[in-house]
Structure 1
Amino acid sequence: MRNRISPSALKHTLLALLMLFTVGLLASCGGHDDDDDPPPGATTGSLAVSISGLPAGVNGAVTVTGPASYSKLLTASATLNELAPGAYAVTAANVAYGTGNLAATPASQQVQVGAGTSASAGVAYAATAPLALALQEVASGLQGPTFLTAPPGDSRLFIVERAGRIRIVANGSLLPTPFLDISSRTTTDGERGLLSMAFHPQYASNGYFFLYYTDLIGNIVIERRQVSAGNANVADALASVQIIAIPHPGFNNHNGGLLSFGPDGYLYAATGDGGGAGDPAGNAQNTNVLLGKMLRLDVNASTIAHPYTIPAGNPFVNMTGKRGEIWAYGLRNPWRYAFDTTAQLLYIADVGQAQREEVNVAPMGQAGNNYGWDIMEGTQCYDSASCSQAGLVLPKVEYGHDSNGGCSITGGYVYRGTALPELAGHYLYSDFCSGWLKSFTYSNGSASAVTTWNITNVGNIVSFGQDAQKELYLLGGSGKVYRIVRKQ
């Protein structure tokens, strides 16, 4: 009987013959020959980078660059493999640690990597002297300076005087002619006056800036103004649009005072509770009035007929008995607040009643927060032995009215400038009465690294300021303005 080959066996035989034919064809045509392969790594090299001296949880900053546009950032020791032969630069940057620096040695070195070999480089970090701060006077002879700011990308400083004038420091000199003078429209009675200003994010193209002041009868007024067409150092005295006027009857204190544009492009304003001890009118917890609040307004298409609209994301939009302008409430006298766009956080320094001063910290996009006044003063129940804290946002930092504390917090900014890299991420604040300078960092829901800086003999600290380069300033009750700098 003749043996028959099954279809399956025949298929495998044909595949084997095809593979043998292909291999022979490739060999005859000069194809790949495994016998000629170099040993693994024979055409490349490796570089072992050792990084030492870093405390636990602190990252280094070592960059390795080389042939073929190679670039690698290392935060800890590592071995880099399959590197093309050639010269590699190892550059190490200092890193911030606490209020000091960890310095890298050497700062730069060059290492030759050869084919089939392993090279090495070492970087050691060591602590340098901790950062010390000093104050550099930039202006004097001012009449009650209350605020300092600058348009985006501008080298000038704009300083607000409480009596109603805005002064300019240009090229280190205080210009004699005010940028704007509205002294006939405000008063310095009590805590009243011209309290702050804010430049529109597109100021360079539209020339708009906004004022926060109290008028002659005490109402809080937010107003749009415009720079003159022919002189960048003088505002147009006639071009104005009133955005909103908020009644503030009965008392001449607790006016709030800060106006600023948030990173969302909307205009924010922080108002006081209306004055008097203990919020006698109950304004801060009343969401049908605009006192004791943070407001958020859309002013990007302001006209006299329609000076603002209410952003759709505001928490009380179209709610009966509630004002849609409100972003947050339960504030006593939030004289100063600050956005930190790097960490996406909002800091509100709220002046206390008689015992506690506080700093509140919350995500920038968190709407409808109730910061507790007058249920709470800081983390303590106000005017009662116990109280319900349900739904309240309590402060992250507070201090008392004692010999080591103060009487009225002056909120500042999170440092994001370049002159003092060790200070990056620190929120700076002061106290009007005590005049000290302190800071803390904030992460994972809590404050840490609380630091008292050796700043003395400044007197009353009225406000902080920030220029276009994000360097920070202190405004003193003596009429002087100081830049915060490194102590030499």
Structure 2
Amino acid sequence: MLTPRLRTILAALAMLVLSACGGSDGGKHQAGNGALTINLAKLPAGLPAAVRISGPASYAKTISSGQTLSGLAPGSYTVSADSVLSGNLSWSASAPVQSATVADGATAIVNVSYSSSTLTLAVRDVARVDGAVFLTAPAGDPRQFIVDRSGRIFVMQDGALLATPFLDIRNRVAASGEGGLLSMAFHPQYASNGWFFIYYTDAGNNIVVERHSVSAANRNLAEPSAVLEIIRIPHPGATNHYGGLVSFGPDGFLYLATGDGGGAGDPDGNAQNLNVLLGKMLRLDVANARGAQPYVIPATNPFAGQSARRAEIWASGLRNPWRYAFDTERLYIADVGQARREEVDIAGLSQAGLNYGWSISEGSLCYNAAICNKSALTMPAFEYDHGSVNGCSITGGYVYRGKAIAELAGRYFYSDYCGGYLRSFLLRDNKVTEETSWTIPDIDGVQSFGQDGNGELYLIASTGKIYRLVRAGSP
């Protein structure tokens, strides 16, 4: 039998446990007996909403459908309903922000009613650089860095191109065929270490990735003497299919995508050969890069420690990946086809060692019928046929995460060099949905996308014109 003193101690302990547990969101807010019902109206069935609720004691929750939130502390709550997109229809709440007062033991009600309008996009001409092939910027930086195939990088600041290039290595770059200075990437700690990486082809037809540094005296200039070669990949023969993008993943490692070496049908079988670095996605650790050891192999690379395979390889079976993009924990790879199919491959960053099929398959089609066993291959998440409507050579873009057109969040944008259009799709529940064609003026030879430090998107034409994607009618 429990003594009165022991009962008192146990009761006190129980109260301590209850008070430590907090509310329904992991103890991040004060618990109570109030409730808040969010009703959503006139939103298409199956279309997830984006409604944010905030309140006392740092309460914060986001819901995608109507529901009742219980166990709330008394006080004032703010309900904010973001616009959501379905195809090119934008569904907006008639009252995007509402307040509700929750009383102890009572239920407050907020009704959110939506109506639709057509979201219209436009492109705005922002610059012209002959030979422009890429645009990027460090996260949060208001400038844009424009890569010119001949071997220069220009800075655009406050809408104007600076006269002196950020970097000029034209004396080391060979821009014949599809080669040249093809991309650059800023280190995740660029603000503190000043490192950036470039991907180019040299006079020997090799693919070269180097680390450079910004000048300490002028942030609009690179330091010409601070150069470290990271990797040099032989690319004998043809002057096409170089791949061309270097980028840092969310894991902090350096990725680069190489083409298969050129020539119709991958005549040397590079893409399926795990002893060569062509036709691959590579993954390197350059955190402590130095002359004696410019990179190390991440321990989680699929072939790390295997002498019979190149440990730099992250994925294989690529023809000419042009371009790829990270979005949180996913990787989107746009791979240019041979003569029939263009494809986008999508995988999680934890999915190492995937084989995307080339030149056994072209997209999901058999290319080499004699060996077309697709059981060990990863088929594309999205593909399209060549033709007058679709084009002939995919240009991969990015998943939109900017703020200027918030409804576009999560949409992957792409184009086609022969098509000149702008299209997007949404990956939902690992399935491609909401394939959308956006009405913009045709752009002559969309050869690359760009993304600035705020996540806004740009399109780069073969003419050297650079366009920013905007909401139609925006200032």
If the TM-score is normalised by the length of the shorter chain, which range does it land in?
Answer: 0.7 to 0.9
Q: CA deviation at 1:299?
A: 1.0
Question: Deviation digits for residues 245-298 of structure 1, max 9, x if unmatched?
Answer: 111111111111000011111110100111111111111100001111111111
Which of 445, 465, 469 matches 1:460? 445
Partner of 1:55: 44
Match of 1:451 among 436, 440, 443: 436
Q: Structure 1 counterpart of 2:84, which letter?
A: V
Amino acid at match of 2:460: L
Which aligned pairs between 1:187-226 and structure 2 lie closer than 5 A? 187-226=174-213
Residue 343 of structure 2: aligned partner: 358
The residue aligned with 2:89 is 100
- d(CA) in 2 for partners of 1:311, 1:114: 54
The code of the aligned residue for 1:416 comes to R
Aligned positions of 1:295-310 closer than 5 A: 295-310=282-297
Deviates more, 1:258-267 or 1:400-409: 400-409
Deviations 1:423-473 (A, max 9, x none): 111111111111111111113332111111112232011100111111111
Secondary structure in 1 aligned to 2:346? Answer: strand
- Paired residue type of 1:198: A
Is the partner of 1:184 in helix, strand or coil? coil
Question: % of aligned pairs identical?
Answer: 56
Cα displacement string for residues 215-245 of structure 1 (whole angstroms, at most 9, x for unaligned residues): 0121111111111121111111121111111
Change in Cα spacing, 1:394 to 1:48, as seen in structure 2 (3 Å) is: closer
- CA separation of 1:380/1:205 partners in 2, compared to 1, >3 Å: closer, same or farther? same
**Whole-angstrom distance in 2 between the partners of 1:366 and 1:86:** 46
The correspondence for 1:260, drawn from 247, 256, 259, is 247
Q: Which amino acid aligns with 1:190?
A: G
Contact 1:86 1:112 (8 Å CA) reproduced? yes
Question: TM-score normalised to the size of structure 2?
Answer: 0.87
Task: Answer yes or no: is the 8 Å Cα contact 2:52–2:81 preserved in 1.
Answer: yes
Cα drift, residue 187 of structure 1: 1.7
Select the residue among 122, 144, 149 that pairs with 1:134: 122
What aligned pairs does 1:242-391 form with structure 2 within 5 A after superposition?
242-341=229-328, 344-384=329-369, 387-391=372-376
Asked if 1 retains the 8 angstrom alpha-carbon contact of 2:258 and 2:281, the reply is yes
Q: Which residue of 2 aligns with 1:429?
A: 414
Code of the residue aligned with 1:479 in structure 2: it is G
- Distance between the aligned counterparts of 1:361 and 1:116, measured in 2? 48
Residue 403, structure 1, aligned to residue 403, structure 2: no
Q: Which residue is equivalent to 1:6?
A: none
Greater Cα offset, 379-388 or 208-217: 379-388
Task: Answer yes or no: is the 8 Å Cα contact 1:266–1:298 preserved in 2.
Answer: yes
- Once residues 472 and 203 of structure 2 are traced to their aligned partners in structure 1, the CA distance between those partners, rounded to angstroms, is 43
Shift in CA distance, 218/108, structure 1 to aligned 2, threshold 3 Å: closer
The answer to whether the 8 Å contact 1:160/1:166 transfers is yes
Distance in 2, matches of 1:174 and 1:46, equals 55
Q: Give the partner amino acid of 1:318.
A: G
Distance in 2 of aligned mates of 1:249 and 1:115: 75
Q: Say if 1:97 and 1:422, in contact at 8 Å, map to a contact too.
A: no
Q: 2:83–2:406: 8 Å Cα contact kept in structure 1?
A: no
| Separation of aligned partners in 1, 2:172 and 2:374 | 41
Letter in structure 1 aligned against 2:365? Q
1:269–1:294 CA contact under 8 A, matched in 2: yes
The Cα offsets for residues 38-70 of structure 1, whole Å up to 9 and x where unpaired, read as xxxxx9887655432122223445556677877
| Contact 2:417 2:446 (C-alpha < 8 Å) held by counterparts | yes
**How much has 1:186 moved relative to structure 2?**
1.2
> Shift of residue 192 of structure 1?
1.1
Instruction: Write the distance in 2 (CA, Å) between the matches of 1:340 and 1:190.
Output: 31
User: Is the 1:100–1:422 contact (alpha carbons within 8 Å) kept by the matching residues of 2?
Assistant: no
Asked if the contact 1:148–1:467 (Cα under 8 Å) also holds between the matched residues in 2, the reply is yes
CA 404–73 in structure 1, closer or farther in 2 if over 3 Å, else same: closer
Aligned to 2:397: 412
> Contact (CA 8 Å) 1:352, 1:377: kept in 2 or not?
yes
Range moving further from structure 2, 82-91 or 311-320: 82-91
Is 1:485 paired with 2:473? no
Secondary structure of 2:434's match? strand
Measure, in 1, the Cα distance between the counterparts of 2:356 and 2:324: 13
Give the TM-score normalised by the residue count of structure 1: 0.85
Shift of 1:422: 1.6
The gaps in structure 1 that reach 5 residues or longer are 1-10, 19-42
Letter in 1 for 2:43: L
State the match for 1:24 in structure 2.
none
Alignment partner, residue 157 of structure 1: 144
Closer, same or farther: CA 194–52 of 1 in aligned 2, 3 Å? same
Query: Are the equivalent residues in 2 in contact too, given 1:98–1:422 (CA < 8 A)?
Result: no
Q: Which moved more, 1:131-140 or 1:89-98?
A: 89-98
Q: Is the 8 A contact 1:92 1:105 kept in 2?
A: no
Is 2:156 the counterpart of 1:169? yes
- Contact 1:146-1:463 at 8 Å conserved across structures: yes
Could you tell me which residue of structure 1 aligns to residue 460 of structure 2?
475
SS at match of 2:171: helix
Please provide the CA RMSD for this pair. Answer: 2.6
SS in 2 for 1:237: strand
Q: Amino acid of the residue matched to residue 371 of structure 1?
A: Y
Moved more, 257-266 or 437-446: 437-446
Q: Secondary structure at the match of 1:122?
A: strand
- Structure 1: which amino acid aligns with 2:91? L
How far off is 1:384 after superposition? 2.5
User: Who is 2:12 aligned against?
Assistant: none
Which range is displaced more, 281-290 or 73-82?
Answer: 73-82
Unaligned runs of 5+ in 2: 5-31
Residues 143 and 163 in structure 1, CA contact (< 8 A), matched pair in contact too: no
Between the aligned partners of 1:114 and 1:315, the Cα distance in structure 2 is 56
